[in-house]
Chain A
Amino acid sequence: MATHEFFVDMTCEGCSGAVTRVLKKIDVKFDIDLPNKKVFIESDKDSDVLLETLKKTGKTVTYIGTK
């Protein structure tokens, strides 16, 4: 299983909370690093699918790559 790394422009717990909720909906394992504005998602899903999900929060999201 690959771990995808994303940059998500989160500024507070409310932002990371929103990311948490959208990711819970698609049922993946993930880790949020708020100080570094990073989200690590462990999933077999296509990175584009994950990117779209993260973008639903309305924040700036960039795909960094697999770890």
Chain B
Amino acid sequence: MAQSGGLCSVTLTVEGMTCGSCVQTIEQQIGGLSGVIHIEVSLEQKNATVIFDPASHSPESLADAIEDMGFESDVTNASPTT
């Protein structure tokens, strides 16, 4: 990711997804939040990679947003994109 403006990237574990429609709802819901630039959810690896603006979100608030939807989520790594 070669975007300036101090964007962050985080990988979150997501437990409880079993099919493509679970993946889609997460991508739509979280991807629709303001400050979320990009989200990629992997059903196989049970995780979500999110590119976001740290001014509007933290890795924890994103994990909370996923938990709110009814999935278990934890932060595995967070790093600022440079």
Contacts and interface: CB of A to CB of B under 8 A. Distances in A.
Interface residues of A, number: 15
Interface string A10-53: 01111101111110000000000000000000000000000000
B25 A21 contact: no
**Interface size range on B against A:** 10 to 19
By secondary structure, the A interface counts as: helix
B18 interface: yes
Given A14-B16, A58-B28, A19 B70 contact: yes
Interface of B: 16-19, 21-22, 25-26, 28-29, 68-72
Interface of A: 11-15, 17-22, 56-59
